[in-house]
């Protein structure tokens, strides 16, 4: 029997053609889960939902009422929520000297405030037992120039997960994060088109290969499945081929 049979997973940030959320949704569906995929643009979700036999729901994480409506729709369709994955994000590079309140806010609104509110409503919907997973970044573990807003928001959410592990103690809820190294997605395509980016990362990665969407999907499955990771809580899982023990490339 597939490992997630009978479970319901809500995955936010799954509207891309090749991104973490979509890859995770497909993997969870293959493992038997009922999958609810969400993003701001519902039309981009419909094809994915049809492919995996899931449900597509529009949700803007900067609007808390739509987050609440997302989990209500999942409960109405499937009766319960067992797994929640936050995979939304905005890449907004800029050195500290260049930052303004206006340039910082999008990263905070999505990657911190949105993530924490998503966590809140996920925990409310899960009841007694469940796995919350957020997609973080290697840049939240290793500092690099130009990443203050983006990485700071991710790192803040990673810390909140540890607080959540204590605040929800006794309910068998687990809160974990996956800190991904550079993997090609809709958001990072432009980096892979830049000369020297991949080679520089490989130089600092002990396994000497780049990560893949499949690597992310398998890591998420591990954290979602109670039989595989039921005693892991408040943890940031590095998915970077060992690069997390070194440093980010300098360009």
Count of CB atoms situated within 10 Å of the CB of 200: 15
pLDDT value at position 251?
63
168 is catalytic: no
pLDDT exceeds cutoff 80 at 250: no
What average pLDDT does the structure give for the chain? 94
Higher-scoring residue by pLDDT: 1, 159: 159
Q: Give yes or no for residue 58 having a pLDDT over 70.
A: yes
Rounded-to-integer distance, Cα 38 and Cα 43, Å:
10
DSSP state of 97: G
8-242 classified as CATH 4.10.520.10: no
Rounded CA separation 158/169 (Å): 17
Confidence bin at 1 (pLDDT 50/70/90): low
Domain boundaries, the chain: 8-242
Using DSSP, state whether 243 is helix, strand or coil: helix
Rounded to two decimals, what is the model's pTM?
Answer: 0.95
Given the residues 78, 91, 150, 159, select the one marked as catalytic: 150
SS3 state of residue 238:
strand
Between strands 235-239 and 34-39, the pairing is unpaired
Reported as a single tens digit per residue, the pLDDT across 127-159 is 889 999 999 999 999 998 999 999 999 999 999
């Amino acid at each position: 029997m597939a490992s997630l049979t009978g479970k319901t997973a809500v995955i936010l940030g799954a509207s891309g053609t090749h991104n973490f959320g979509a890859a995770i949704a497909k993997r969870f569906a293959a493992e038997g889960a009922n999958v609810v995929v969400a993003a701001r643009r519902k039309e981009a979700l419909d094809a994915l939902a049809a492919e995996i036999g899931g449900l597509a729901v529009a949700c803007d994480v900067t609007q808390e009422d739509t987050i609440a409506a997302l989990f209500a729709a999942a409960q109405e369709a499937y009766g319960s929520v067992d797994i929640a994955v936050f995979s939304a994000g905005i890449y907004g590079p800029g050195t500290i000297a260049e930052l303004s309140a206006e340039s910082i806010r999008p990263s905070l609104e999505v990657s911190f405030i949105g993530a924490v509110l998503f966590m809140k409503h996920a925990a409310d919907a899960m009841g007694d037992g469940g796995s919350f997973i957020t997609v973080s970044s290697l840049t939240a573990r290793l500092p690099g120039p130009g990443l203050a807003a983006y990485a700071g928001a991710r790192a803040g959410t990673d810390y909140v997960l540890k607080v959540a592990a204590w605040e929800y103690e006794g309910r068998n809820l687990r809160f974990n994060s996956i800190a991904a190294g550079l993997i090609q997605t809709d958001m990072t395509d432009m980096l892979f088109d830049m000369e020297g980016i991949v080679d520089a990362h490989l130089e600092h990665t002990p396994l000497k290969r780049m990560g893949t969407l499949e690597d992310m999907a398998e890591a998420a499955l591990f954290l979602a499945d109670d039989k595989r990771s039921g005693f892991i809580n408040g943890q940031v899982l590095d998915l970077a081929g060992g690069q997390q023990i070194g440093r980010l490339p300098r360009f």
